[in-house]
């Protein structure tokens, strides 16, 4: 079978779609429900940061767990625990339990992401890696977009929304447990590769941290921001659907582009595009619903397209045999930024208003452009398209 064919990782893509239906619903439901319950913006930001604190802890254990029990068993264990955690949210509606539960959800998703991203990266050669991770992102964000629509089916204070999220996360086990495809080889190294990544690609290293600052803030706080605009019922779900639709449509063409051209320059171009969109969101204090959804579409499209390109660049430099440690390390760096971002920006919003969110993110993406320029000058010509490929053994669906 042709290396890079989506059918080679079809069970993983199906599992990702179902899994992210649950997480996408949860990512909007938690800040939205917290706002409805009267939690302060600072508390909402702390809950958002807790997710990434848990994810940060999870990155340290994900690769060793995969190495110990294998990809499929690790996925099953993480899915079971996160489903139970989700069902506990409506049983203890208070800031402290929600902070702790959100951290546990983040811990589990660090493991889930390490399994699926490591699987896909290991199965794709350098000439296909960007496209394969782009297809993965399409499954990721179409699943999230589908999950958002569940918000329309039940009241905000309904237990049913958390039940639906837990059901999706449990169902994601089925395609992984039933697959006949051969999993990737167990990673030889179970630890993070922070020093190796810094030496191999400064751009990937810096991009991961800065993306955490921007993306973690955007997805954690934006539902509460839209809710306070008071543009009418359904606005939060519609905005999030527009943002996630953009996230779903752009990754594959961007992946193709990054397979043909220097991935570093693709990162720089995407950073410029999202910075312009964020300036527009900052400029319009009370946008119409149509303008809000349009800007949300482009914000979602550009803000999420950078991460898979950065992962592809990292795997190009360090090799597919380190795909799981590379995925965990990139996520670890991302979480450092994502822990700081939501709480910091939430405190800024208390003093300077909600629109400071977009000014903050625009500055972050300007810094990212600066790192790309510096990195290209420091590293010289791109070599990432002629380095490592992987030829996995043939197996059913593989």
pLDDT digits (tens, 9 = 90+) for 19-63: 999 998 998 889 888 888 888 877 888 888 888 889 888 888 887
The superfamily CATH assigns to domain 6-379 is MFS general substrate transporter like domains (1.20.1250.20)
Mean pLDDT of the 357-373 span: 92
Q: Please list, in sequence order, all residues whose beta carbon lies within 8 angstroms of the beta carbon of residue 228, skipping any fewer than 6 positions away.
A: 35, 354
Q: Which tokens go with 212?
A: 């955490």
pLDDT exceeds 70 at position 146: yes
Which of the two residues, 31 and 121, has the higher pLDDT score? 31
How far apart CA 375 and CA 390 sit, in angstroms, is 27
pLDDT exceeds 70 at position 5: no
Cα separations (Å) of 388 from 135, 208, 248, 311, 391?
21, 22, 28, 14, 10
Provide the percentage of residues in the chain whose pLDDT is more than 90.
22
pLDDT for 189 equals 60
Q: Which of 63-67, 150-154, 258-262, 382-386 has the lowest mean pLDDT?
A: 382-386
Mean pLDDT of the 371-386 span: 70
pLDDT for 195 equals 84
Which of the two residues, 396 and 67, has the higher pLDDT score? 67
pLDDT tens sequence across 255-299 = 778 778 788 888 999 999 999 999 998 888 777 888 989 999 999
DSSP state of 138: H
Domains of the chain: which residue ranges?
6-379
The overall average pLDDT reported for the chain is 81
pLDDT exceeds 50 at position 147: yes
pLDDT exceeds 50 at position 215: yes
pLDDT for 263 equals 84
Tell me if 9 sits within 8 A of 123, measured CB to CB: yes
Q: Looking at the whole model, is its pTM more than 0.85?
A: no
Mean pLDDT of the 50-77 span: 86
Q: Which tokens go with 392?
A: 């996995």
Q: Provide the pLDDT confidence category of residue 127 given band limits of 50, 70 and 90.
A: low
Provide the percentage of residues in the chain whose pLDDT is more than 70.
87
């Amino acid at each position: 079978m042709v290396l890079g064919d989506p059918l080679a990782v079809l069970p993983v893509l199906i599992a990702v779609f179902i899994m992210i239906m649950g997480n996408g619903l949860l990512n909007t439901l938690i800040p939205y429900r917290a706002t409805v319950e009267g939690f302060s913006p600072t508390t909402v930001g702390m809950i958002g940061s807790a997710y990434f604190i848990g994810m940060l802890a999870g990155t340290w254990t994900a690769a060793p767990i995969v190495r110990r029990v294998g990809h499929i068993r690790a996925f099953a264990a993480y899915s079971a625990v996160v489903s139970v955690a989700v069902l506990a949210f409506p049983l203890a509606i208070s800031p402290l339990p929600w902070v702790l539960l959100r951290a546990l959800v983040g811990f589990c998703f660090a493991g889930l992401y390490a399994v699926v991203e490591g699987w896909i990266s290991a199965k794709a050669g350098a000439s296909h890696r960007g496209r394969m991770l782009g297809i993965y992102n399409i499954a990721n964000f179409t699943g999230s977009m589908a999950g958002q629509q569940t918000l329309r089916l039940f009241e905000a204070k309904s237990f049913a929304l958390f039940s639906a999220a837990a059901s999706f996360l449990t169902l994601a086990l089925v395609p992984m447990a039933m697959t006949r495809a051969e999993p990737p080889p167990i990673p030889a190294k179970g630890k993070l590769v922070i020093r190796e990544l810094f030496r191999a690609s400064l751009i990937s290293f810096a991009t991961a941290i800065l993306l955490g600052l921007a993306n973690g803030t955007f997805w954690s706080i934006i539902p509460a921001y839209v809710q306070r605009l008071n543009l009418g019922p359904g606005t939060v779900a519609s905005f999030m659907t527009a943002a996630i639709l953009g996230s779903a449509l752009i990754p594959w063409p961007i992946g193709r582009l990054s397979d043909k051209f220097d991935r570093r320059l693709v990162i720089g171009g995407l950073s410029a595009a999202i910075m312009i969109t964020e300036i527009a969101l900052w400029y319009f204090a009370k946008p119409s619903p149509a303008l809000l959804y349009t800007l949300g579409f482009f914000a979602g499209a550009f803000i999420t397209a950078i991460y898979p390109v950065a992962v592809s660049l990292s795997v190009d430099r360090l090799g597919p045999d380190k795909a799981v440690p590379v995925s965990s390390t990139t996520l670890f760096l991302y979480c450092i930024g994502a822990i700081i971002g939501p709480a910091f920006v939430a405190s800024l919003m208390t003093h300077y208003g909600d629109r400071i969110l977009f000014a903050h993110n625009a500055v972050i993406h300007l810094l990212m452009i600066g790192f790309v320029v510096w990195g290209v000058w420091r590293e010289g010509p791109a070599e990432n398209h002629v380095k490592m490929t992987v030829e996995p053994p043939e197996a059913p669906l593989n």
